[in-house]
Chain A
Amino acid sequence: MKFLTEYRDADLVKLLLDKIEKTVTQPWAIMEVCGGQTHSLVKNGLLNLLPENVQMIHGPGCPVCVTPLNLIDKAIHLAQKSNVILCSFGDMLRVPGSKKSLLQVKAEGADIRILYSPLEAVELAIKNPDKEVIFFAVGFETTAPANALSVLLAYEKEVNNFSILTSHVLVPPAMEAVMNDPDSNIKAFLAAGHVCTIMGIEEYYPLVEKHKIPIVVTGFEPVDLLQGILMCIQQLEKGEYRLENQYSRVVKSEGNLRAKNAIEKVFKIEDREWRGIGNIQQSGFELRDKYHAHDANLKFDIKIDKVIECKDCIAGLILKGIKKPHQCSQFGSNCTPEKPLGAPMVSSEGACAAYYHFHQANNQLTSIS
């Protein structure tokens, strides 16, 4: 497959691993920001191929993991209304709310559909004029353009029974929050390639300068990830810090202007609550006033009690890379993918779920630190 197999080449991987091994002289903690990168590291078994001195910290870039509990409760509340069709991306369904998950209320009779594109939800609304169609608009900057287009389409066609429940979060403010945490020991970042495809790379320059930390915009295939890691280590070993773009075959410096334009039209930047991390200033998208008719938060009177996270779950420390999943007292005992206490154990992009599988292997294969 063009543009895939080349980046899964075993010889190239070996070459890069050798280079990393030869370059690294001391322990470095590098955070891969995006859940897709975590997923790829685990799926391809890369974590146990890296030298011991390279410690990968799994970042907060898993949209499912950082969606606040009370927003999931809101989605569940809406889905249970008799005239509502709630549409969502697939892996949001299994995430536990305070009492139930969307998958459970679906089994109880709620009309919940898994879609790949929010534009399909607009079509669904046109086909079902007597129903309220709500799209659970979760994700980072990557899913924002399609969600923006769905709102624009509904606005233009006056599809008044379509709305979105927004939970959009932004990567750079989250990286900044991680860097500002005094307990953080992260020395470099692999920035999320897909997010930069949309947004470009310019907003990362100030972060590099302010925190004097290397950031490498990185793709998702094994060769991408190893090259990104090597670029970080080369900088770290020389005591340098700058922004580099490993994923230049896809990411342009200015990003995707049309996509950015759609986002700019529909969304404004607001403070947002991150599950496990807390409130981060200017870290999320909200619909602009012009599109309030399509904002499920305003359209429906939803009163959800403030819920308290499970006190045994240390998702916040994990999302910030301060603790590793297997250092949690609940890991693998009271908290498993089957019965997750927190979101990072749910999604295959979540660090805990990834570690749960990896850790099992390591009991038998090699030891992990």
Chain B
Amino acid sequence: MSGEEAVGQDGQSISKKALKKQQKEAEKAAKKAQHKKPDNQEAGDIDKEDTSKGRYGVLPLNQSQERLQRRLYKVSELQPSLSGQTVWVRGRLHTCRSKGKQCFFVIRQQKWTVQVMAIQSETISKQMIKFISGVTAESIIDVEGVVQTVGQKIQSCTQQGVELHIQQIWVVSAAEPRLPLLIEDASRPEGEGELATVNQDTRLDNRVLDLRTLANQSIFRLEAGVCRLFRDYLTAKGFVEIHTPKIISAASEGGANVFEVTYFKTKAYMAQSPQLYKQMAVCAEFDKVFTVGSVFRAEDSNTHRHLTEFIGLDLEMAFNYHYHEVLEVIGDMFVNLFKGLQEQYAEEISLVNKQYPAEPFKFLEPSLILNYKDGVEMLRQAGIEMGDEEDLSTPNEKLLGRLIKAKYDTDFFILDKFPLAVRPFYTMPDPTNPKWSNSYDMFMRGEEILSGAQRIHDPEFLSKRAELHGCQLDKIKGYIDSFRYGAPPHAGGGIGLERVTMLYLGLDNIRKTSLFPRDPKRLTP
């Protein structure tokens, strides 16, 4: 075929069939040309008059060719005080509306947005406006423009008092024209009107885009704040940050299931709690320690508050006389944390609340400490039937949270003196009544976030308790042995970073506060 055609092109011999075909194609081409003519002509016309040449376009791939001495303003810096100045801004094209001779678009930079206006003029040609409206959303662009104050506040942008009047626009990195989700849709509060929202799985599958929403930007900034405030407070209190191994030889703690990994020729496990190492560090004369690190739980529970990998904020502390010394430190740590978030992250909190409305987090200072018994009594008064030594079921936990909220108006409280029967073997029993134990749980918005206790630091007693719980002593020999060389009385606890962030913000799912969540059904991205 190609041979024939080549011949035809040479004009030497053309078969009938090919001739017909050629004719047809020519007709088609003519038609096409005719159809396109007005466009072409127009383009041709303007080509001649394109006064904006060199003011827009796509930048070549940045291979660090040259280092411009050009100041890029941050969107957040664009204030009415800069009025009249010409500035360069780099950001993402958030949205774009073009209408014939004018075009408005919004540049987004993290949580800040500013409106840019382009109107056809001597320096701004129609082609340039056409080019702008052709730039795909989420592309990174460089824009040069003049800062102008506006008469009416621009409600849709964070920089409400100013807008940019465009002079140049260059695409630094173009986004695909078809996005798996629109940032606008992903930013919409759920259940509001009939406009599209994005479901959780789509979000998590395209987390890179999803994380660009204002709410997500704020959530993870706040989460960083939780971590920082935890570190700052404890460091100031004389705690030492330690790092514990995540690959361990045996399950350190009963109960939670562990992930098994191949470790050369043997098996190893992923740490499901840094507890053993925290305790060993305390016994190793560090006195007060904390650690921030990943924790793995092989629990096949698909709930709104379980992840298989999460960040644990754990602390352990030797005390002098009474484990309430530790309880008070932890309680105070939380108050400090909540206060810090309230003061330093007010904007983030309000941004998250715009998309996910929630009541502001309320707490008491000092933290409210109730006995488990009192909690059970409150539940009974509300008509719940439960035994003294029964563990709190999830619905009861929630109800208790509501009751305490109604009475004390606090979203955070501590339950002390849990029944010994529902706690792990290393929990120190109450000195007067063996029914109770020196252990405590902390709750935010009616959900447990911390579970802790005074630990048994006497190896003989510990062995006894372990046997009672049916633990195989040889498996936890290392744990017990660590208390054989003099161990101070100590207590501690651990919280999940994601859970605390979720409950502080009043979010409904822990996957919203994990950057790339891991649950039984999700291992990617």
A binds B: no
Q: Which residues of A contact B (CB under 8 A)?
A: none
Question: Measuring CB to CB, which residues of chain B are less than 8 angstroms from any residue of chain A?
Answer: none
